[in-house]
Structure 1
């Protein structure tokens, strides 16, 4: 029954009846090839129907612990039948020992990874038949290692058929009859692997491992076991130097590829569900085409709520570019490098523009940001006026050395001359920006009625000017140029733009800078503008962000009364 199902399923995949990526097709092709040579001298493995069925009978004991199916009995999806039918069905014809000692399944988020691993953990410790089995749910961090362990416990706790047949003590799930255990294991525990004798090692989200230390702890401890299983389930990641990509993904890609006959390992099972790429690594599939999502999400795309969740993630990734790499790795299951991404679509910025301010902004307080950059390049100031109700009016005024103007117009290919006429850009004499003109400009607008509360500056190359401006009576506030300090204002500014709560007077130079701006992101999804990777100069928006960092903070700290102003009777 299981064997015939897998044959029919594989044929449907190969014929296109089941939408699948290339590596998925290769896995099915590999299975069909193995069926043809089953039990031969060159391939001494046979498919044991009873052993495959036993795992799924075990899986059927449990209930869904979360999601729309919570409380219902688990009915394995066809991709689970294929993966675990292979893992548990194939055995050696002479010994009866299982064929696959290692298994790798890469699939998108919300495709029952933890549920599948939990069934494996409990099966290996309580039903597979090995005494004193040691099953380890392994990760680099304790919290990650406990995810599968907690899911296993929750599934056991919800299974009346297994009541009284296990106990939990000292962080272990114990099966007294076989003296087997299930235990979380992490690098943070400081384990060296000494004394471990794993029957089964489960590695969840291997892409997040910076080293193969935990992998080796499990793998090296299995040498005394007759039929161990090292099970890896992961999404793709963004570190191409990780052991998951460098060692496992690259290896299984060659293992599955029928054109790589030199890479053969009869004891390693592999399945990869992802969007397809060409030979250069560029996506062939369109991420906006919902019909291809099932390639990476065979389970999540089998019910409406799963598709709806992916759809919402895509909308967010398109709106917030730094979310795109996470969408690609977690939802489309494709490996990407962390890279610079556009800060925001220019059309979003333009939708906030007005030809002229509808009111005199001088009646509102002003925060002025400074980005001095190199003295031979553009230096910018940026103003932010809180208007109330989380709305801000912003502007910029930049400076360029006269001797560099013609060169910059040629290399940057923008109409600096027109921007000078419009008053967005000011020329200073000589080869470098004369900072005395910056000082004079700030004093001039102050004298013209601008209520400048403070000047917010990047201290790089600004020590002397900052002191000069302080002597002129300006309140000077240094803005640390770190991703930790700039992430929140950079994100919040963009959010306010999307909400049409940033107003500007259609300054083309500022729009140009925003169009140039890209961000860099750390592992915690903090972002900041990245000058090195931006397409061209971003000094005007960098100055505005410096000012907004303080304007946003000060607005948040104002009392409700201050924000509303006094009531009139």
Structure 2
């Protein structure tokens, strides 16, 4: 029986209802089965080897009942992919070196991956000795969840099989294979250094809760000299849209599934709802809860989800249920300024801005915090928005990265920000001006206005007055009286795709962090209690307070004006 192919075909045909990303994973498998005949495709699928590991998983006891159960069809698909694909030039080397499993809570992610760890611990043979298996997470308690499952399941096997009992040893913080010196340990940021750290298998549990890429980088750097290692990310979605899972790993996995990025060593299975609207129909819940396909669990899980969703609507806590029970990334606040889906749908590839008209918005934070410059460039039928930030390090860069939940080192490498080089750690306003001047010059931009929040703007105002008196500087009064209308119009225009933007994580983070506040004069944005970086959006709205009155439907470029057919 080819469980993987069977599941993939049923998903593609619609016999098994699945979300868009699971359908993409199924299509990828079927396409790769055809590609394995090509000489330039480096891998082949061995169904017998896949079934061998599936069979091992199905003799393992459930930690709660200590009874063995067959894997669900989606679990067979995952394990079959991970252990069915091998290199043509060396069939001891796995194809997939990294995998992401994301689905709603209580769908058996942890128990499935504990089976992977046990298989590698007991039966792994590449390498034959000293396989290090680490269960990692953001904190020690979470890291111990999978580790504890492994211990319970192994103890059950030890009680039934003398060879397993003689060949293994279970202690409080470690499981040892006495025959080949392999071991399993839990690892978190609290653990400290590990001697000879070379994780053959690294399991990252609930990666959505990780504030930084620290644990991922630790695993990846430890695997540098290993040629058959594996990292498995298992997680439900989260509230923190600045978390590295949402800003780095999730978008990457999505692009791999879509074929936008070719990475034949990366496996992804992401079971999520495709929209909030479809949650109202229980038949769609299997998209994020594939365990519903198991007949013996269907009634129990369905009843649980029905109760959760009904209560959430009555209590106004829908976001929490959408995140945990339907695996949808959501802002922490119910009164968020804009749905992240709306913002993401307005994303486009970067455009050529050379010679374009531009309005800048500037939000001057404290010299020890963040300085944001955002801009709007009119195009035919829409505004093109982007941003850049200057980052202070007065109280330590690592502390700021942790507090803001933005990896500024990585974002600097991506060209989205600049970390101050001053020894004091404060932002160098002269450097801010120099960057702005260079940006305008290099792109031959026609500056229509510098729209600024008057607070702490004086230093930059003076430099611009001295060097570019032709740049009009426009003070934007802060408060609902001035900003209410552009704030509401900006949101509407993003929804209508009349504002578009490239992938800018600092600006996207600001969108995710913003909530709407109101008073007698109207509305404006504020930072929520879960996160506090909205500087880039504040700067953008300062510019939009002027730009939203411009007519982009009858937008004329300089080329239109210089064209010989143009006239008055």
TM-score, normalised relative to structure 2: 0.57
The superposition leaves residues 31-86 of structure 1 with CA deviations (integer Å, 9 ceiling, x where unpaired) of: 000000114222121112232122112212211122xxx23212111101111100
1:298 pairs with one of 287, 290, 311: 290
Residue of structure 2 equivalent to 1:163: 165
Given candidates 76, 84, 99, the residue that maps to 1:103 is 99
2:59 and 2:123 mapped to 1: Cα distance? 12
- Secondary structure in 2 matching 1:233: strand
| Aligned counterparts of 2:241 and 2:515: Cα–Cα separation in 1 | 22
> Contact (CA 8 Å) 1:275, 1:295: kept in 2 or not?
yes
State the 1:181 CA deviation.
Answer: 0.5
User: C-alpha displacement at 1:329, in angstroms?
Assistant: 1.0
The aligned counterpart of 1:549 is: none
Q: SS in structure 2 opposite 1:149?
A: helix
**1:184 corresponds to:** 186
Task: Give the Cα separation in 2 of the matches to 1:39 and 1:157.
Answer: 43
Alignment of 1:434-513 (within 5 A): none
Structure 1 residues 532 and 167: alpha-carbon distance in aligned structure 2, compared to 1, 3 A threshold: closer
The answer to whether the Cα contact below 8 Å between 1:126 and 1:178 also exists between their aligned partners in 2 is no
Equivalent residue, structure 2, for 1:154: 152
Q: 2:176 maps to which residue?
A: 174
User: What is aligned with 2:114?
Assistant: 118
Match of 1:498? none
Give, in whole Å, the separation in 1 of the partners of 2:79 and 2:239: 27
Q: After the TM superposition, which parts of structure 1 deviate over 2 Å for at least 4 consecutive aligned residues?
A: 161-165, 531-537
| Deviation (angstroms), 1:121 | 1.1
RMSD: 2.2
Q: C-alpha distance in 1, partners of 2:263/2:89? A: 19
- Give the match's secondary structure for 1:115: helix
Q: Which residue of 2 aligns with 1:360?
A: none
Q: Distance in 1 between matches of 2:192 and 2:311?
A: 39
Secondary structure of 1:203 counterpart: strand
Distance 2:18 2:324 in 1: 17
Unmatched segments (≥5 aa) in structure 1: 278-282, 343-530, 538-569
TM-superposed CA distance for 1:300, in Å, is 4.3
Cross-structure match for 1:73: 68
Is the Cα–Cα contact under 8 Å of residues 319 and 334 in structure 2 kept in the other structure? no
Q: Offset of 1:5 from its aligned partner?
A: 2.7
Question: How many angstroms does 1:112 deviate by?
Answer: 0.6
Residue of structure 2 in register with 1:40 after alignment: 38
Q: Is the 8 A contact 2:72 2:293 kept in 1?
A: no
The residue matched to 2:279 in structure 1 has which SS? coil
Q: What SS does the corresponding residue of 1:189 show, helix, strand or coil?
A: coil
2:313 to 313, 318, 321: 318
Which of 5, 8, 26 is the aligned partner of 2:6? 8
Residues 461-500 of structure 1 show CA distances to partners (whole Å, capped at 9, x for unaligned) of xxxxxxxxxxxxxxxxxxxxxxxxxxxxxxxxxxxxxxxx
Cα deviation, residue 532, structure 1: 7.5
> Cα deviations across residues 156-177 of structure 1 (Å, max 9, x unaligned)?
1122233333212351011111
5+ unaligned residues in a row in structure 2: which ranges? 337-513, 521-568
> Residue by residue, what CA displacement relative to the aligned partner does 1:512-560 show, whole Å, maximum 9, x if unpaired?
xxxxxxxxxxxxxxxxxxx9845557xxxxxxxxxxxxxxxxxxxxxxx
Q: Distance in 2 between matches of 1:309 and 1:62?
A: 26
Asked if 1:224 corresponds to 2:225, the answer is yes
Structure 1: distance between partners of 2:7 and 2:85: 17
1:424 maps to none
Aligned to 1:250: 251
Q: For 1:226 and 1:232, how far apart are their aligned partners in 2?
A: 19
1:509 paired residue number: none
Q: Secondary structure at the match of 1:63?
A: coil
Q: Distance in 2 between matches of 1:532 and 1:339?
A: 7
Partner of 1:289: 281
Secondary structure at the residue paired with 1:137?
Answer: strand
Distance 1:532 1:38, change over 3 A: closer
What secondary structure does 1:164 align onto? helix
- SS at structure 2 position matched to 1:157: helix
Aligned to 1:52: 50
Asked if the contact 1:62–1:155 (Cα under 8 Å) also holds between the matched residues in 2, the reply is: yes
Which residue number corresponds to residue 351 of structure 1?
A: none
SS in 2 for 1:231: strand
The offset of 1:301, in angstroms, is 5.6
Contact 1:340–1:533 (CA<8 Å) still a contact in 2? no
Q: Secondary structure at the match of 2:238?
A: coil
Q: Compute the displacement of 1:340 (Å).
A: 3.4
Q: How far, CA to CA, are the matches of 1:65 and 1:36 in structure 2?
A: 39
Q: Check 1:532–1:106 CA distance in 2 against 1; reply closer, same or farther (3 A cut).
A: closer
Q: Which TM-score applies when normalising by structure 1?
A: 0.56
In structure 2, relative to structure 1, the CA distance for the partners of 1:34 and 1:301 (3 Å cut) is: closer
